[in-house]
Structure 1
Amino acid sequence: MARYALTVSYNGIRYSGFAKQKNLPTVQGILEESLQKIYGLPIRIKYASRTDAGAHALGQVISYDVKKGPEIDKIPDALNGLLPDDIRIISAREVSRDFSPSKDAKLKLYRYIVYEGKNLKPFLRGLCLFSRTRLDVDRMNSACRVLCGKHDFSSVVVKRDQKENTELSLERAGVMRCDSFPIDGEMRKPSFGDFVVFELEAQRFLYKMVRSICGLLIEVGERKLSVIDVVSIIRGEKKWRVRVLPPDGLYLVRINYGENLCFMR
């Protein structure tokens, strides 16, 4: 029995999230259907991150177990020949039998994209959030410095489970402008362009946490909140009505498993 790990990129516009759901189109469902065609038996995959309906990925990581089948280097082309154009296999490799895409993840990098142009380009629909307000990037980056580190994030997220541990460490957060659509794995140099890009990195995230933190940062950028307000909110001293942004602009960029196992686009 071998365990294979694949890096997957997808446009989530027409899917009800990554995780399989009954009678709904999902990325996991499409992947498992395609794998079954290759191996001739049902394949159940495990995944690193359960992205929401409408959210996208540049570097989702999945794994599955098989006894025999095509050589690992033939898997990407074989799968891509069966998958729809909005789901692509970027790479494949054999991993140890105890590898877990979710539990072994050291860091997950998410990106949220906002477009501030006067008119939203039709081809960007579903791929970013359209804002008519010019956001103050410097103010938002000051708020990012407040949010980084270990905190109880219960005051800035939608609570799904009262018993969930809401204390975690946000390793990195930042905001920058770009001239063109920042779909690449690595960010371009900052500019004065119309695309505003948020990046958050942590070992784990709470339910809809990336979208709610970006919502908080946008209110800072709109000057509805100050950086001092963010300090008070994160400490639980000031109430804030959680603003969860739409999934359109959300991208899972990459999963880092440490020096010995790193998945890149």
Structure 2
Amino acid sequence: MRTIGLVTAYDGTDYAGFQWQSSGRTIQGELEDAWRRVTGESVRVNGAGRTDAGVHALGQVVSFRSESRIPVERIREALNGTLPESVSIRRCRIAEDGFHARFSAIGRRYRYLIRQDRERNVFLDRYSLRITGVLSPDRMRNAARHLIGVHDFRAFGQATGEGGTIRHVSRIRIAQRDRWLVVGITSNAFLRGMARRMVGELVRAGLGHIEPEALLERRKALDPGEVGPPAPPNGLFLASVRYPATDEAGNGLI
């Protein structure tokens, strides 16, 4: 029995999220179906992040236990030849015993793409939030300061499982280049919907609809009703997942 780890990328537009559901296509379902077609074996795939419907990934990590003896160097090519074009395996390796894509992770990083543009674009609109107003990156950065640190983020998302609502947001980076803004958020873990609600509030602060200090008040209120609507899913990407290194060479990491 081996533990197999994969780094995956996907366009989440046409999926009901990562996690398997009784109705609707999911990334987990596509991965499990592809493995079954390649090896004849049924497995349960675990993901580092349970991305919502319409959310994309550049570096989602998944793991599963398998009795198949398919050579590791063949797995990536075999799965990519079976998966739909909207899902891709970027890297593959045999992970150490006990590795779990979700529970072994110590950090996740999301990126949200924002485009300031009055014109619709049928291609770019699929992967970014189009804003017709003028965003102030400085106002967004001032607002983001109130979300960094170890806090109770229940106002910004829902807990899944028994993990509670305390999270450590270690960094929020807002970068601008021409008409594009990228919001990068790094945390040990995220509540369901947390990244999108945070971005929604940052955008409202950047547009001048709320003051940057309002995010401090809303975080402390611990009331989801105090927080505005989340940013739409199409601009959000799970960029990367971080794991503790097991040696100087990084063996044991995906």
TM-score between both structures, scaled by the size of structure 2: 0.91
Given that 1:16 and 1:54 are in contact with CA atoms closer than 8 Å, whether structure 2 keeps it comes out as yes
The equivalent residue for 1:170 is 169
1:242 aligns with 2:241: no
Counterpart amino acid of 1:104?
Answer: S
Deviation at 1:124, TM superposition (A): 1.5
**How many Å separate the matches in 1 of 2:48 and 2:159?**
20
In the TM superposition, 1:156-235 aligns within 5 A as 157-159=156-158, 165-178=164-177, 193-235=178-220
**How many Å separate the matches in 2 of 1:62 and 1:228?**
38
Deviation at 1:97, TM superposition (A): 2.1
**How many Å separate the matches in 2 of 1:160 and 1:102?**
15
Change (3 A) 1:203 1:234: same
1:78 aligns with 2:103: no
Unaligned residue ranges in structure 1 (runs of 5+)? 179-192
Specify the SS of the correspondent of 1:89. Answer: strand
Deviation at 1:81, TM superposition (A): 0.6
Range moving further from structure 2, 238-247 or 221-230: 238-247
Unaligned residue ranges in structure 2 (runs of 5+)? none
In the TM superposition, 1:10-159 aligns within 5 A as 10-155=10-155, 157-159=156-158
Range moving further from structure 2, 235-244 or 213-222: 235-244
Change (3 A) 1:9 1:44: same
Given that 2:153 and 2:222 are in contact with CA atoms closer than 8 Å, whether structure 1 keeps it comes out as no
Q: Between Structure 1 and Structure 2, how many residues are aligned? A: 248
Identity over aligned residues, as a percent? 29
**How many Å separate the matches in 2 of 1:158 and 1:101?**
21
Counterpart amino acid of 2:181?
Answer: V
**How many Å separate the matches in 1 of 2:215 and 2:206?**
12
**How many Å separate the matches in 2 of 1:70 and 1:245?**
42
The equivalent residue for 1:188 is none
Counterpart amino acid of 1:207?
Answer: R
**How many Å separate the matches in 1 of 2:42 and 2:166?**
38
Range moving further from structure 2, 252-261 or 132-141: 252-261
Specify the SS of the correspondent of 1:227. Answer: coil
Range moving further from structure 2, 131-140 or 237-246: 237-246
The equivalent residue for 1:252 is 238
Specify the SS of the correspondent of 1:231. Answer: helix
CA RMSD of aligned residues (A): 2.0
Range moving further from structure 2, 62-71 or 210-219: 62-71
**How many Å separate the matches in 2 of 1:128 and 1:233?**
26
Counterpart amino acid of 1:132?
Answer: T
Specify the SS of the correspondent of 1:112. Answer: strand
Given that 2:9 and 2:60 are in contact with CA atoms closer than 8 Å, whether structure 1 keeps it comes out as yes
Specify the SS of the correspondent of 2:36. Answer: helix
Specify the SS of the correspondent of 2:204. Answer: helix
